[in-house]
Amino acid sequence: MNRPPAITQLRGTGDIGTLTLDWKPVSWATVVDHYAVYVAEPGATTYTLLGKTVYPHFVHRGLGFTGVTRSYRVVTVDAAGNRSQVSRSVAAANKTSVTISGQPIARVGFYDGKGSELALSPKGYAEYPTRFPSDVDYTYGTSVPSVDWSYLFPGPADKWAGTKNHTVTFRFDLTAVPEQDLDLALWLIDSHASIPGSAVLSVNGAEVGRLAFANGATKGSTIADTTYPGSPLKPSYLETPLSKALFRTGQNVIELVKDEGSWIAYDAFGVYARK
Ligand SMILES: [Ca+2]
């Protein structure tokens, strides 16, 4: 039997809920049927088959919100069914969410995989122009999620919201300038499948950057729950650091301007301090 070569340069990149594996594919001279990806849980010595792929790329999903280091390795299987030796194993962890590691400062909604606690949920988007004619302007502590924070954040591609840019403004107080950087946690239950677009993020009038949203399933405009078996929604988790230098004592303002693409559907939005 002629063994196909093992892959090289296996590496893992952790994100919230997922771990992405990439590797250098074997030479074109090998007719590959698939790569078999194996995982060992922490402390385990045995590897179990995680999945098969024809690409030099695999995403391990559903890993939760607390980082766990697992070991991965890959076997090349050629067209004749011959298996390579196992690749070198690599240890990699999914990321821990700031909603686990941090201390909440100001939040809208619960980080629970549902949008049902927010205004107009689960399918009242057509009322957005009349309920939010000047978009969402939310003050933490006095505004109410089920009344003042729309479950959908429309973009310029949405005719039902006027085919224009939209802004969400989030106001919260700090009793002191933070000693460490803060983190923004923007979780979505879903987004548009092909044009989720992006938004410009500003803090206290200073532009910080552009947040790009992951492709969803275009179902979150009428369904609020990602947590039941078979839910068609595709949630995503966006967490980004915010420099402590951006903040001040008293009222602070975070603004998102959706100037690209279609809507996103919120799970929760919040600012976290580091412990
Ligand atoms: Ca929620």
| Predicted pLDDT of residue 228 | 95
Q: Please give the model's pTM, rounded to 2 decimal places.
A: 0.91
Q: How far is the CA of 86 from the centre of ligand 1 (A)?
A: 42
Please name the helix (run of DSSP H) or strand (run of DSSP E) that holds residue 146, with its range, or none.
helix 145-148
**C-alpha of residue 225 to centroid of ligand 1, in Å:** 9
Q: How far is the CA of 10 from the centre of ligand 1 (A)?
A: 36
| pLDDT tens digit sequence for 174-217 | 999 999 999 999 999 999 999 999 999 999 999 999 999 999 99
- Per-residue confidence band for 1, with pLDDT thresholds at 50, 70 and 90: low
Alpha carbons 15 and 19: distance in angstroms, whole number: 6
Domains (ranges, CATH) in the chain?
Answer: 8-93 (2.60.40.10), 101-274 (2.60.120.260)
Q: What is the pLDDT of residue 2?
A: 85
How far apart CA 208 and CA 178 sit, in angstroms, is: 17
Burial call 91-109: b when 16+ CB within 10 Å, e when fewer: ebebbbbbbeebeebbbbb
240 alpha carbon to ligand 1 midpoint, in Å?
A: 18
Nearest to 239 by CA among 11, 65, 21, 13: 65
End-to-end CA distance of the chain: 56
Give the tokens for residue 152.
Answer: 């959908």
CA–CA dist 168, 28 (Å, integer): 50
Q: What pLDDT does 260 receive?
A: 98
* Cα–Cα distance measured from residue 106 to residue 169, given in angstroms and rounded to the nearest whole number: 13
Return the number of other C-beta atoms located less than 10 Å from residue 141's C-beta.
8
Environment of ion ligand 1 (residues, CB < 5 A): 109-110, 112, 114, 267-268
The predicted-structure confidence for 87-146, as pLDDT tens digits, reads as follows 999 999 999 999 999 999 999 999 999 999 999 999 999 999 999 999 999 999 999 999
